[in-house]
Amino acid sequence: MLDIKLIRTNPDSVRENIKKKFQNEKLKLVDEVIELDRQFRDSKQKGDDLRALRNSVSKEIGGLMAQGKRDEAEEAKGKVKAIADELAALEENEAQMNAEIKERMLVIPNIIDASVPIGKDDTENVEVERFGEAKLPDFEIPYHTEIMESLDGIDLDSARKTSGNGFYYLMGDIARLQSAILSYARDFMIDKGFTYCIPPFMIRSDVVTGVMSFAEMENMMYKIEGEDLYLIGTSEHSMIGKFIDSILPQEKLPQTLTSYSPCFRKEVGAHGIEERGVYRIHQFEKQEMIVVCEPEESMRWFEEMLSHTVEFFRTLDIPVRTLECCSGDLADLKVKSIDVEAWSPRQKKYFEVGSCSNLGDAQARRLGIRVKGAEGNYFAHTLNNTVVAPPRMLICFLENNLTADGSVKIPKPLQMYMGGKERLTANSK
C-alpha cells in the first residue's frame, strides 16, 4: 500500500507506475482517492471547528446559569447537543470515506524499482545470469514420476483416492530425500546467519490481506470454514505477520529468519493441476527466508538473499539461471522480483524453482511494522525468498543426478542426511 501523501503530492508518478504495469483500468482509482481524501480532510477540519465551538458554548453555560439566565443556558445546551449530533454524523461519514480510501489504496500497485524491465507479461521477463553448465546426457531421461516410481518412491493413485488430483504419497528413499533436502536447506541458512523458525501454518484474515493482494488471496488461499483462519500458501505469510503492529528498535534490525512449513495452494488459473506430475500441486513443503530491515538496506539484502539460493542449488550441482520479472508480471505489492530457474535436461529448458522479492514498505504499511528511529517512527522494508521447495526441487534434482543405469547420485552435502548413501538404486524385484 502506498503512502497517501505520495498520491496527494505526486499523482502523476502513481499513474505512470500503473501504466508501466499495464493496469490502465486502475488509473481512475488515483482520482477517486484524491477526491475522497479531500472530502475526508475537509470533514476533519469541519469537525475540529465544531469541537472548538462546542467547547466555547459549553463554557458559557456555567456562566449563564450563575447569572440566572436559565433560558439562555438551556438554549446553549440545545446548541451543544446539535453540535454533538452533527459531529457524530461527520465521524460516521469519515469512517465510511476512510474505508473507501483504503479499499482503493489496497489495489493501487506499489511503485516498482527503476531497474525493473517494462513488459506486459512473463513472456517479457529478462534473463540475468546463468550458473553452471546446462548438460544433456547421452541417454533418455524419463518423466520425473517415472524415475520416482522406479525407486518405489511415489504413489499418486492412492493419493487420488484419498484426496484427489494434486496430492501424492512420497515413499521410502524419495521421501527421505525430500526431508534430506529440507534439512540441508535449514542448516545451510543457519550457517548464513539466519535464525531458524517453524511458524503457525494458519493465519488470520488481517495478516492475509497484509501480506498479499486480493487477487493472489482468491487464487491461492484455502479458508478454514467457520473460522477467521486461512492455511498458509508459504511461510512468508506467517513470518512477516509475526511482526504485525510492532515497533522495532533500530538496533534489532535486520531481522533475518529462515522458516520451514508445509504450504497449501488452490492453484486456480490456467496452469491447472498435473494428473501424473508433482510440479504444480495443492500441498508441498518449503524452506523460506525473510528479512525485515532498514529501507536503505533492502536492495543489498535482495542481492544477498538471491545469492544464497543460487549457491544452495550449485552446491548440489544443479545448473540454474536468474530471470527478472518484468513490470507486467510483478505482483502488485512487489518493488522488484527475480525468479530462480533450474535446468531440466529432460525438457531441455529451465523452470522456476523459487522467487526472490523486495516488497519495499508495502507489507509494513498494511501490517503496521515500524522502526523506532531517533527522529520518529517509520516503516520497515520486507523481503522474502525461496531457499528450496520440494517436491518441485526433486524434479530437477532427479533429472540432473540420474545415471544411465537408472540410479540417482547423492551429492556430498546430502549424504549425511541420507544415512551415508551415495546413490539411490531401484529395489530388486
Write out the three cell numbers for 20. 508501466
State whether CATH 3.40.50.12140 applies to domain 122-424. Answer: no
For residue 327, count CB atoms less than 10 angstroms from its CB and return exposed for 0-12, middle for 13-18, buried for 19 or more: buried
Amino acid at 113: D
**Cα dist from 119 to 25, 116, 129, 339, whole Å:** 17, 9, 19, 16
Fold exhibited by the domain 4-105: Helix Hairpins (1.10.287)
Specify the pLDDT at position 268.
Answer: 53
- Domain 122-424 in the same topology as domain 4-105: no
Distance of alpha carbon 309 from alpha carbon 254, whole angstroms: 19
Distance of alpha carbon 69 from alpha carbon 245, whole angstroms: 52
Q: Do the beta carbons of residue 359 and residue 383 sit within 8 Å?
A: yes
CA-based max dimension of the chain: 109
Q: Where are the domains of the chain?
A: 4-105, 122-424
Write out the three cell numbers for 346. 529432460
Bridge partners of 350, per DSSP, are 343
Distance of alpha carbon 278 from alpha carbon 271, whole angstroms: 13
Q: What is the pLDDT of residues 218-241, one digit of tens each?
A: 778 899 999 999 999 999 999 999
Residues near 74 by beta carbon (within 8 Å), at least 6 away in sequence: none
How is residue 10 annotated by DSSP? Answer: -
pTM above threshold 0.75: yes
Write out the three cell numbers for 74. 438551556
Q: What is the pLDDT of residues 26-85, one digit of tens each?
A: 999 999 999 999 999 999 999 999 999 998 988 888 888 888 888 888 888 899 899 999
Specify the pLDDT at position 427.
Answer: 62
Q: Do the beta carbons of residue 277 and residue 143 sit within 8 Å?
A: yes
| Other C-beta atoms lying within 10 Å of the C-beta of residue 313 | 25
Write out the three cell numbers for 176. 527421505
Q: Do the beta carbons of residue 257 and residue 380 sit within 8 Å?
A: no
In tens digits, what is the pLDDT along the chain, a chain of 429 residues? 899 999 999 999 999 999 999 999 999 999 999 999 999 999 999 999 999 999 898 888 888 888 888 888 888 889 989 999 999 999 999 999 999 999 999 999 999 999 999 999 999 999 999 999 999 999 999 999 999 999 999 999 999 999 988 899 999 999 999 999 999 999 999 999 999 999 999 999 999 989 987 667 777 889 999 999 999 999 999 999 999 999 999 999 999 999 999 999 887 544 555 557 788 888 999 999 999 999 999 999 999 999 999 999 999 999 999 999 999 999 999 999 999 999 999 999 999 999 999 999 999 999 999 999 988 999 999 999 999 998 889 999 999 999 999 999 999 999 999 999 999 998 633
